[in-house]
Amino acid sequence: MDRKQHWDSVYTTRAETEVSWFQDNPALSLALIQNSGIAHDAALIDIGGGASRLADALLAEGYGNLAVLDIAAAALEKSRTRLGEAASRIDWIVADITQWQPTRAYRLWHDRAVFHFLTEPSDRAAYKRALLAGTGAGSQIIIASFAPDGPERCSGLPVTRYSPQSLQTELGADFVLQESRHEEHRTPGGNLQHFQFSRFARL
C-alpha cells in the first residue's frame, strides 16, 4: 500500500474522533499560533491537517486566510462536511507534501505529526524544499512531532522522533527556534504520547 492509499484508508475506515492523534481542542497549536503574533488576515497553512479541528478553532478565533493541505482527500472531506458553509472560507489542498509546489508564501506554516513520518532523507529534503518555497523571510513555522521519549510508530508507520534541538539541526540555519513546549497527548484509547512543539522564525 502506498502512502496515499494508507492515509485514505485510515480516514475512510475510522471515525475522526477515534484516531490516536485526535484532539477535541488543539490548545497548544493555538497558543503557539497566537504567540507567533501573526495578523488575523495573514496566510496560514496547516500541513497534513487531516480532519483536525484546528481549522474550526482558527476560524472561531478570527483567522480568515487559511489553507489546509493533506495527502488524504478523505480526511479533508470530513473537515469540509463538519464545517459546512464555513468550509468555503478555507483553501483545501490535496497533495503529498514531498511533491507539492506552493504557489504562494504563507506567513505561518503549522505541522502537527506529519514531518515525523518522513524517515527517508530524500523525503525530508523534499519537505524542506516545499517549506522554503511556501514561506518567506519572517514566516513562522510550528512543527509538532513525537518527542524523543514518544512512540516509535504512529498509524502503523515508523516515525523519527525529535527534540526541539534536533529539529533545529534538521531545518538548518535559515530557521531560528523561538520557543518549544512538551505535551503529553492522551489518545482516545487512553494512552499517553509525548510530543514536542517547536516554533521557528525564518530569517
Residues forming contacts to ligand SAM in the complex (CB under 6 A) are 3, 7, 21, 48-50, 52, 70-72, 75, 96-98, 112-114, 117, 154-155
Hunting for cell 497534513 — which residue is that? Answer: 48
Q: Which is nearer to ligand SAM, 138 or 196 (CB)?
A: 196
CA–CA gap between residue 127 and residue 43 (Å, rounded) = 19
Q: Which is nearer to ligand SAM, 96 or 183 (CB)?
A: 96
| 1 in Cβ contact with 165 (< 8 Å) | no
Which of 133-151 are b and which e, b meaning 16 or more Cβ less than 10 Å from the residue's Cβ? ebbeeebbbbbbbbbeebb
- State the minimum distance, in angstroms, from the CB of residue 174 to ligand SAM: 21
- State the minimum distance, in angstroms, from the CB of residue 188 to ligand SAM: 12
- State the minimum distance, in angstroms, from the CB of residue 203 to ligand SAM: 25
- State the minimum distance, in angstroms, from the CB of residue 39 to ligand SAM: 23
Residue 198 host element (H or E): strand 192-202
Q: How, if at all, do strands 66-70 and 44-47 pair?
A: parallel
Q: Which is nearer to ligand SAM, 20 or 138 (CB)?
A: 20
Alpha helices in 84-184 (DSSP H): 121-134, 164-171
Closest by Cα among 62, 26, 57, 67 to 41 = 62
Q: Is 139 helix (H, G, I), strand (E, B) or coil?
A: strand
- State the minimum distance, in angstroms, from the CB of residue 111 to ligand SAM: 7
Which residue number places its CB atom closest to ligand SAM? 50
- State the minimum distance, in angstroms, from the CB of residue 40 to ligand SAM: 21
Q: Which is nearer to ligand SAM, 155 or 163 (CB)?
A: 155
Q: Which is nearer to ligand SAM, 150 or 164 (CB)?
A: 150
Q: Which is nearer to ligand SAM, 27 or 39 (CB)?
A: 27
CA–CA gap between residue 39 and residue 82 (Å, rounded) = 26
